[in-house]
Chains A and B, each alone.
Chain A
């Protein structure tokens, strides 16, 4: 009972916050609503027993991504009034597209059927590591992810690493500029000065004479 109430509260909050993200006039408010949508979804994850994912969502998305968004939105200073100039002009085509997608979604939902046992068995003829850890008496969330991340999904994990490497190269190539004429310390050059430098052994309490 309390679980059902919590589910509806979080679900409604998520949908309402999601709607406000696109409805809010001020972009900073949009980002704040985005954060509350993330938190509601994190609550839903907790209800599903995926507490690790919930914490990840809060730490990564709320803690890092959304704050970054907030900074970007506040710093960019985009003129949103000017951006909305062509809005009315494009509204009919926008509505037509929206109607199309809604019809598609209704068609999909009308035909939605959870695959029966036979279909599931066909789809997974051999139980994978993911299924063996889905057992309620089995390992916890983090253990479960650890078990499959480096076994069943090692291929994807490695590719994800390469994608991040490429993104990093891109950020450096496109923004890094070597500035001319800046003064920075070069220890090697300092040490190599050689005979200009005299080493003096001073006894304690005597000072330089």
Chain B
């Protein structure tokens, strides 16, 4: 296969790479006043990439570039959600980009470049491309975290994220080098062949554990979660909205592919590790969030907990488990975008507010926002018949069918605890004395994101959960 034919299969990535460079040059020529136009250009670019992902040519053999890059239903599923989430994140940054702190045209371009890195991650089927995809994405995210460079907290968040991210990359590379040393190849499929052929390959398992640690850091699963609350709180809120959605899905997809494609033969070795990480994340997410007063920190702990639930599905190690992970993560991304759209609407004359107390009595001052937030919080808590419930249901079902009943039971208990702090906010909104009202001119994109997300949770996904499940099962089948 010639290089040009190969390149036609990577059209979405090519479009993102070339398009972001073109927009960068345009931005340099026109200056920072062109930021809104560059933003719309970036959104257009992500939509083009999304269309190319769905409609672009598919190769006969899903793996190209000597097995470094995989184009299958699994990658397509993840990429569609990543590109959509990144486009919405840019639209939601409207007020930030117009304001004085975010008025740099590099902001939307960096989000596009992060999406580019994520699409490399979900297609990676080789240890080298895995690492390079992760670094492309992380580097863009470090810059975004400290984007508000005049704020002490934002730069602190960026620095913390960078240092701990570099540490986790070190763990990842250490693990990758051990795996390479003991298997003789960096390709996932060859590693799987060697791992299945040799019993008790201790070096390979130790490498695998380091690999899991590095990846767990990237998706902020406990016990590698310490950076999350600080980074979420310190980074500008639109950036946090982006952090909490697409990168989590990309990291989880990479995690699922790395474990199920390269280590299916040693499931009994990594299953307890993933199960332990899942339990730790669920417990940390459930108990640490109770004492929070800042809503961004609360969302950080909530996302740690959600990673735990998704990992329950991965711990099952079956096609059903991976499809449950995909369903869970896509619902999670939609919920999180909506929740952050609501947080971005918490604006008073003095600027943004982030305290949970500011939501008191929201029903009396701003009924539509209160209704949206209530729906999203119920969905985050996993109350039927909202979509969040189905995500948890499929994950726990996959765990039970893989004989991990105890893990599912712990998951149900943790989600009962976590329901407490979600419902506490609902209580504040409906039954407390009203706090001063928020400003009403939120802008169409935030309203669209919030309403869209709430309507997806109920009733759209409640009705169409079957079709989502079918698509996710189709995608997961590509890995087995």
Question: Which residues does A use to contact B, with CB under 8 Å?
Answer: 104, 107-108, 110-112, 115, 119-120, 122-124, 128, 152, 154-156, 159-160, 162-163, 165-167, 169-170, 172-174
CB distance A173 to B106 under 8 Å?
yes
Contact bitstring B175-201, A, C-beta under 8 A = 1, else 0? 000100011110000100110011001
CB distance B146 to A159 under 8 Å?
no
CB distance A170 to B203 under 8 Å?
no
CB distance B143 to A173 under 8 Å?
yes
> Interface size of B by Cβ–Cβ distance < 8 Å?
44
Supposing A115-B184, A123-B190 touch, asked if A174 and B136 sit within 8 A by C-beta, the answer is no
Chief secondary structure at chain B's binding surface: helix
Contact bitstring B125-144, A, C-beta under 8 A = 1, else 0? 00011001101100110110
CB distance B194 to A166 under 8 Å?
no
Q: Which residue of B lies closest to A161 (CB)?
A: B17
CB distance A169 to B194 under 8 Å?
no
CB distance A166 to B113 under 8 Å?
yes
Chief secondary structure at chain A's binding surface: helix
Question: Cβ of A152: which chain B residues have Cβ within 8 Å of it?
Answer: 66
B residues 27-71 near A (Cβ < 8 Å) are: 65-66, 68-69
Question: Cβ of B132: which chain A residues have Cβ within 8 Å of it?
Answer: 156, 159-160, 163
CB distance B116 to A162 under 8 Å?
yes
Asked if B206 lies at the interface with its beta carbon under 8 angstroms from chain A, I say: yes
Question: Cβ of A163: which chain B residues have Cβ within 8 Å of it?
Answer: 132, 135-136, 139
Closest 5 CB pairs of A and B: A123-B184, A170-B143, A155-B65, A111-B202, A123-B185
- State how many angstroms separate the Cβ of A7 from the closest Cβ of chain B: 20
Q: Which residue of A lies closest to B158 (CB)?
A: A174
Supposing A123-B194, A163-B132, A173-B104 touch, asked if A107 and B206 sit within 8 A by C-beta, the answer is yes
Asked if B333 lies at the interface with its beta carbon under 8 angstroms from chain A, I say: no
CB distance B139 to A166 under 8 Å?
yes
B residues 106-155 near A (Cβ < 8 Å) are: 106, 109-110, 113, 116-117, 120, 128-129, 132-133, 135-136, 139-140, 142-143, 146-147, 149
Asked if B1 lies at the interface with its beta carbon under 8 angstroms from chain A, I say: no
CB distance B128 to A165 under 8 Å?
no
- State how many angstroms separate the Cβ of A99 from the closest Cβ of chain B: 16
Question: Cβ of A173: which chain B residues have Cβ within 8 Å of it?
Answer: 104, 106, 110, 143, 147, 149
CB distance B133 to A169 under 8 Å?
no
